[in-house]
Amino acid sequence: MGHGPLDSGQAGDLAGTFKALGDPVRLRLLSMIVSAADGEICVCDLSEAFPLTGPTISHHLRILREAGLVHGARRGTWVYYRAVPGELTRLAGVLDTARLP
């Protein structure tokens, strides 16, 4: 992403990603994934932190995956989630006021 204003395509693309973070549960999930030891966390540990059902947590994680913010890897019966660093850097770049004149 350049240092100029967003064009309509970039804004539309980013809006979908930011919309995925517009839910408090998804924002917390992403925060937990990003701050996890070794950079990944098991869905079993994520689920324990919320008074929600497994399918509801899976729904929120699916939205984060579809937005390109996280990816999961199945190991046995569990899925382990990692943040996608390039996507987080891209979002941070849009919000970085240090690049302003």
Per residue in 42-100, pLDDT (tens digit) is 999 999 999 999 999 999 999 999 999 999 999 999 999 999 988 888 888 887 766 55
Residue 1 has pLDDT above 80, yes or no: no
| d(C-alpha 92, C-alpha 101), whole Å | 17
The answer to whether 42 touches 82, Cβ cutoff 8 Å, is no
pTM for the model: 0.85
Tell me what pLDDT residue 13 has: 85
DSSP 3-state helix, strand, coil percentages of the chain (rounded to 5)? 60, 15, 25
Tell me what pLDDT residue 98 has: 60
Q: Is 99 left (phi over 0), alpha (psi -120 to 50) or beta?
A: alpha
